[in-house]
Amino acid sequence: MKKLATLFFLLFAMFISQAQVKEPVKWTSKIEKKSATEYILVFSATIENDWHMYSQFSDENGAIPLEVVFNNAKGNYTAVGKAAESKTEKAFNDVFGVTETFWSHNAQLKQTVKITNPANEVIQVELDYQVCKEVCIQGSNLFEFNTKSLAAKEVKNFSAVSVTTTKKDELTAVKADTAIQSSTTQVTEQPSTAQDTAKTATASATSKTEKSKPADEESTSPLKIFLLTLLAGIGVTFTPCVFPMIPMTVSFFIKQNASKSKGKFNALFYGICIIAIYVLLSVPFHVFEGLDKNIFADISTNVYLNIFFFLIFVTFAISFFGAFEITIPSSIANKADSASNLGGLIGVFFMALTLIIVSFSCTGPVLSFVFGTVLSSDGGAVLLTLGMFGFGLGLALPFMVFALFPSLMSGLPKSGGWLNTVKVVFGFIELALAFKFLSNADLVLQLHYLEREVFIAIWVAIFTALALYLFGKFLMPHDSPVPFLSVGRMLLGVIAFAFTVYLVPGLWGAPLKLLSGITPPLNYSESPLGFGGSANIAGATSNKLPDGAKVAVHGIIAFEDYDKGLAYAKQVNKPILLDFTGRACVNCRKMEEGVWVDPEVLAILKNDVVLISLYGDEQIELPENEQFISKFSGRKITTVGKKWSDFQLGRYNSNARPFYVLMGLDEKNLNEPVAYTPDIKEYLAWLQQGVENFK
């Protein structure tokens, strides 16, 4: 499994590189005394060739205008009007349908301020701006001026860039000496603007994809996998890496061809290529599955992979918060873009590949979640392919729909500061989900470091912070002050706060059924019998358990050894319920917390059957003399979990989790075994039938 973990590490490491930061604008500053109470702040910029920085008076419906933010003005000084600007240029952008105002080569701003608090000597001013070439860079530079010494200095620079390469000549909307190539740009980090509308659609992009079991007894339907990944794909279109590309790319295809029908066909083919590329990423896993039928069951409980996914999610979360930018190396993007110049359908294919590469910083976290959840399930390669198809379709749909109906683009919201808010919300959700993978590793190893209370406390902290962020109580690196809350941001904040309130009772033993399978099980807790509570343990006299038994969820006696459980069943003359389960099995927890809790079901489990729970992911090493070579799989069985997985596969030809068998003392089935059965009445009827057949 170490080789397998290394293989998966390499597969994901291919997509991750160091942050790539460019600074095409260099700033200098100075302060001049105008009168006893007035000072002039001077900002001078040198702009690299072919780059354009947009004026504070540029149309906000095009590229993002420069903004001057006075950080410590309240009670200390006031700005006298808008900053005066050096000579600017203008050009019409037919993609956005506006005239944009910008600087080339050099720019200067002069801002007059009037001191209202003589005791204050420091003026802090932040310039938020956008500069574009084939890419757009969001700059946020902080300057500090001293009115006493007349000293000025630049304190911080938050410029960041994604490597975006497109067909420069063909996608340029305005072909003139002063043409602004904003039609080829992709916004990576949006600066602070008045627009701060959080898109609730991002919540669906990080919806939890439930684990499923294999083959003909799927516990999570393929339809659910498809719908959730489809929503995830649609959700990532509302990120800074993808959203600005939609009108630009669609306009390119439509304007490229004299025949509008051909342009629409190319745009549709572009979407199909996006889908095909994501589906192709799943092909290697079909090969892995062919080599080892149990590979996906091993993946679901592999400690190294779960820790790896935890680290990946934390890294992406920090990136989304604005600490750094994760991008694909520019050399890869440049090669794909060069290939797109071949023309024809091959060129369109490489344009789609270029989009996938350059948008990785936003799609990567969701894509890794799709991989992590489906691969760590028992769903197999088929469900992974279905999930990748759904994700690709969701991402491609906007490009295809707007190509067929271009008039709908007029209803698209303009790019703005709300895109950065979307990224930050993504970051909080990614951080919360990261702890699910860490919890899986802790459960498999039974370390009890991340017990239920600790896990829930972490989530309470994360979603409290998310609610406070949405309510504007603090800012992230690329945010600006929030003068007011938009309706969308306020509603999303209320949802985050309500979810936090829902979580809190879980610290004292509340079941939290909405999160069954995500939180650690109720008995994996500092207080397994509930806060200050006790359980009615059937079959135990004076709190003494039968030999080899443990107290399981809801106070049920359970054996984790087949032979000891069988011996006890013969002693008390009761039928046996074999529970093939896993420490990190989501649907197993859903059954325990959503079905077994039913009073009638629980009564049977406590009084009428002997429960034997066999954990297929138990990592305890078997003694040397008990290890063997499986006659079913040919693998060496070295752990308790592998022993029970091999036992299940050999006797019942199934590796599903959960998988339930009711059998008599002669070890013959009392009725047909069942897998994940979330319907309480159906499961109850199955239990009653087996018990009646035993009698």
Which pair of tokens denotes residue 155?
A: 């304190």
Question: Does residue 299 lie in a domain region?
Answer: yes
- Residue 254 and residue 290 in one domain: yes
36 and 7 both lie in a single domain: no
Specify whether 8 is located in the same domain as 109: no
pLDDT attached to residue 87: 93
As a whole number of angstroms, the distance between CA 347 and CA 303 comes to 42
Let me know if residue 305 belongs to a domain: yes
Mean per-residue pLDDT, 6-27: 52
pLDDT at residue number 374: 64
Q: Closest Cα to residue 273, out of 227, 224, 336?
A: 336
Q: Inter-axis angle of helices 303-321 and 2-13, to 10 degrees?
A: 20
pLDDT at 20: 41
Range of lowest pLDDT (185-189, 265-269, 554-558)? 185-189
**In whole angstroms, what is the distance from residue 13 CA to residue 7 CA?**
10
Q: In whole angstroms, what is the distance from residue 103 CA to residue 52 CA? A: 6
Helices 260-280 and 344-358 cross at an angle (nearest 10°) of 50
**Residue written as tokens 């003139």?**
176
Domain of 155: which CATH number?
2.60.40.1250
Give the contacts of 266 (CB within 8 A, at least 6 positions apart): 253, 256, 257, 345, 348
Average of per-residue pLDDT values in the chain: 78
Percentage of the chain exceeding pLDDT 90: 29
Same domain, 582 and 517: no
Q: Please state the rounded mean pLDDT for residues 337-350.
A: 69
**Chain-centre distance for alpha carbon 480:** 24
525 plus 565 within the same structural domain = no
**Alpha-carbon distances of 614 from 447, 635, 643, rounded to whole Å:** 19, 19, 9
Tokens 């530079």 label which residue?
A: 141
Count CB neighbours of 364 within 10 A.
Answer: 22
Mean pLDDT score, 360-376: 68
pLDDT digits (tens, 9 = 90+) for 141-166: 889 999 888 888 877 564 443 333 33
* pLDDT reported for residue 319: 84
Structural domain that includes position 84: 25-159
Q: Using CA atoms, how far apart are residues 518 and 291, in angstroms rounded to an integer?
A: 30
pLDDT band at 192 (very low <50, low <70, confident <90, very high): very low
DSSP helix/strand/coil, 270: helix
Give the separation between CA 647 and CA 187, rounded to whole angstroms: 54
Q: How confident is the model at residue 169 (pLDDT cuts 50, 70, 90)?
A: very low
Of the listed ranges 33-47, 97-111, 313-327, the one predicted with least confidence = 313-327
**Closest to 139 measured CA to CA, from 42, 22, 51:** 22
What is the pLDDT, as a whole number, of residue 29?
A: 93
Residues 370 and 514 in one domain: no
- Taking residues 331-341, what's their average pLDDT? 58
Query: Can you tell me the mean pLDDT for 375-384?
Result: 65
Query: Domain check: are 412 and 465 in the same one?
Result: no
Whether the pLDDT of residue 186 is over 80: the answer is: no
541 is a domain residue: no
User: Domain ends where: 467, 502, 532?
Assistant: 532
How high is the pLDDT of residue 465?
96
Calpha distance 25→54 (Å, rounded): 12
Predicted confidence at residue 615, as pLDDT, reads 92
| Contact indicator for 187, 497 with CB cutoff of 8 Å | no
User: Taking the model in full, what pTM does it have?
Assistant: 0.54
Per the CB < 8 A criterion, the answer to whether 630 and 637 are in contact is yes
* Paired tokens of 594: 């959503």
Residue 577: which CATH number? 3.40.30.10
Its sign, for the CA torsion 231, 233, 236, 242, is negative
Residue 77 lies in a domain: yes
**Tokens linked to 109:** 């701003």
Query: Confidence class of residue 40 from pLDDT cuts 50, 70 and 90?
Result: very high
pLDDT digit string, tens, across residues 200-258: 333 333 333 333 343 333 345 678 778 888 888 888 888 777 877 787 777 777 666 55
Coil, strand or helix at 260: helix
User: For 492-528, what is each residue's pLDDT tens digit?
Assistant: 999 999 999 999 999 988 888 888 778 888 878 887 6
367 or 560, which is more confident?
Answer: 560
| Dist CA 487 CA 67 (whole Å) | 23
Query: What's the rounded mean pLDDT across residues 332-360?
Result: 71
pLDDT given for residue 113 in this prediction: 93
Do residues 144 and 228 share a domain?
A: no
- In a shared domain, residues 111 and 232: no
Tens of pLDDT, residues 570-583: 999 999 999 999 88
| pLDDT above 50 (res 541) | no
Cα separation, 15 vs 379, in Å, equals 24
The predicted-structure confidence for 282-325, as pLDDT tens digits, reads as follows 888 777 766 665 666 666 667 888 888 889 889 888 988 888 77
- Host H or E run for residue 110: strand 106-115
Residue 235 and residue 126 share a domain: no
- Is residue 80 within 8 Å of residue 114, measured between CB atoms? yes
Q: How confident is the model at residue 16 (pLDDT cuts 50, 70, 90)?
A: very low
Half-sphere exposure of 640 (CA within 13 A, CB side): 16
Q: How many domains is the chain built from?
A: 4
Pick 456 or 358 by higher pLDDT: 456
Direct distance between the N- and C-terminal alpha carbons of the chain, in angstroms, rounded to an integer = 45
Supply the DSSP symbol for 181: G
Long-range contacts (CB closer than 8 Å, 24 or more residues apart) made by 529-532? 529/555
Can you give the pLDDT at residue 558? 94
Rounded Cα–Cα distance for residues 502 and 500 (Å): 5
How would residue 343 be classed by pLDDT, with cut points 50, 70 and 90? low
Q: What is the pLDDT of residues 585-622, one digit of tens each?
A: 878 888 998 899 999 999 999 999 999 999 988 888 99
Alpha helices in 216-328 (DSSP H): 222-236, 245-256, 260-280, 283-291, 295-301, 303-321
